[in-house]
């Protein structure tokens, strides 16, 4: 460090005779010095503005103040201004302390183009137990959203973002919707991604903007667009028929079978291991659960699904799981392409995922209680949760009533 900081010994007055207070302030000043050195190394001898700002916040807090710039301090009650001046006077030989309590450190610009890189480390809690593929799928739409925002309003500093910028972004999406490029749901999702990024980064860097206010009442009206289900008879007579999916590889074909009689998501089925597939019990079942580096979509997604009909057939063939496909996206793409190219989609909106809707409709048609349906689908139940849920035997009873026949 001697190339960057020539001081052999660093002495700082802590401005207190209280031992506990001195220890507290000494720790803060020690952090300050180490942050300062790190910023010099990062900046090749020049202090990093962001590090200087974070240090100013810490030092102001150490002396009992919130960091504010000079304009904000001037608006404070006279008593607080006097206290800040007294503190600065006592630390007159410590310019960094004077700057922190009197608002002399500039808030870093934080251009929008830097926000994504600052956002990821602040969201580590959201990525716990996610696989690399899941993390990429989580990051990519958020990175795209902030880049859309920059395309719409320019690469402005975070602290300069105003309501007019958000309205301009909203109009940018409306123009794309009118051209038929996207739907309102896509626009709404992207605007919420941007709000979250700005809010999280703004909170970390103490940007005073209220992003809740900036983003209020901007949601665009969405048209109801759900994937249509297959008719149960179509699944039985066409998709599950002896030669219905002959052109697909075995794993892809059996994934269709498994999905048809479990209603599980593609990612849930692809993620099963040999330990999750239980075939030697009186009621065979699969156990969809979170594991290290493999998160579930929601907490309620964890569940045991009894195996009947097409699903039992599939897992008897693949007792160790779907090992050919590393991700559900690859499997879905393969199957949906096959359905499209072989005229097996009743409408353009049908897809592999439609089997999940078919599964739910079949249970309803059989008279299954909504609670049983929610448990089997891994849906969040409305209202408080009481008890352990339905036993495997009860779920098995309902699934036997709707099971497909495999010849």
Domain ranges of the chain: 19-102, 112-214, 232-402
How far apart, in whole angstroms, are the C-alpha atoms of residue 135 and residue 151? 24
Residue with tokens 């009743």: 346
Chunked in runs of 10, what are the mean pLDDT values of the chain (407 residues)?
54 71 71 62 59 79 82 87 87 80 80 94 87 88 96 95 97 92 92 97 87 95 80 96 91 96 94 93 93 66 93 96 87 94 92 95 95 89 51 94 93
pLDDT of residue 37: 62
pLDDT of residue 69: 78
Sequence-separated (6 or more) residues with CB below 8 Å from residue 22: 14, 16
pLDDT of residue 376: 94
List the strands of the sheet with 277-278, edge to edge.
277-278, 285-288, 303-306
Q: Which CATH class is domain 232-402?
A: mainly alpha
pLDDT of residue 381: 64
- Give one word for 143, left, alpha or beta, with left for phi > 0 and alpha for psi -120 to 50: alpha
pLDDT of residue 47: 57
pLDDT of residue 1: 47
How large is the angle between the packed helices 370-377 and 392-402, nearest 10 degrees?
90
């Amino acid at each position: 460090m001697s190339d960057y900081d020539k001081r052999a010994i660093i002495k700082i007055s802590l401005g207190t005779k209280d031992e506990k207070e001195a220890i507290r302030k000494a720790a803060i000043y020690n952090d300050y010095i180490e942050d300062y050195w790190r910023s010099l190394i990062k900046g090749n001898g020049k202090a990093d503005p962001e590090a200087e700002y974070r240090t100013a916040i810490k030092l102001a807090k150490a002396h009992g103040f919130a960091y504010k710039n000079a304009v904000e301090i001037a608006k404070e009650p006279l008593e607080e201004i006097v206290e800040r001046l007294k503190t600065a006077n006592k630390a007159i030989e410590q310019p960094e302390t004077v700057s922190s309590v009197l608002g002399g450190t500039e808030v870093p610009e934080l251009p929008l183009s830097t926000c994504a890189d600052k956002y990821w480390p602040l969201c580590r809690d959201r990525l716990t137990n996610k696989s690399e593929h899941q993390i990429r799928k989580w990051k990519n739409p958020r990175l795209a959203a902030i880049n859309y925002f920059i395309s719409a309003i320019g690469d402005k500093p975070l602290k300069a973002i105003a309501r007019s910028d958000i309205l301009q972004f909203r109009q940018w999406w409306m123009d794309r919707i009118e051209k038929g490029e996207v739907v309102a749901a896509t626009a709404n999702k992207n605007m919420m991604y941007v709000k979250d990024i700005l809010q999280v980064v703004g909170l970390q860097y103490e940007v005073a903007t209220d992003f809740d206010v900036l983003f209020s009442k901007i949601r665009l009206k969405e048209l109801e667009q759900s994937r249509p289900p297959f008719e149960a008879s179509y699944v039985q007579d066409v998709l599950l028929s002896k030669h219905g999916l002959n052109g697909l590889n075995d794993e892809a074909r059996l994934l269709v079978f498994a999905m048809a009689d479990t209603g599980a998501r593609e990612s849930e089925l692809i993620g099963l291991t040999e330990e999750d597939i239980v075939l030697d019990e009186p009621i065979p079942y699969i156990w969809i659960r979170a594991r290290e580096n493999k998160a579930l979509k929601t907490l309620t997604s964890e569940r045991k699904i009894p195996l009947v009909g097409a699903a039992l057939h599939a897992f008897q063939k693949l007792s160790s799981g779907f090992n050919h496909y590393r991700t559900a996206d690859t499997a879905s793409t393969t199957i949906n392409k096959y359905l499209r190219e072989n005229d097996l989609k009743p409408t353009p909106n049908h897809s592999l995922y439609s089997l999940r809707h078919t599964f739910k409709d079949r249970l309803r048609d059989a008279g299954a209680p909504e609670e049983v349906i929610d448990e089997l689908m891994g849906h969040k139940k409305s209202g408080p949760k009481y008890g352990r849920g339905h036993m495997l035997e009860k779920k098995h009873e309902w699934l036997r009533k709707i099971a497909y026949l495999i010849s």
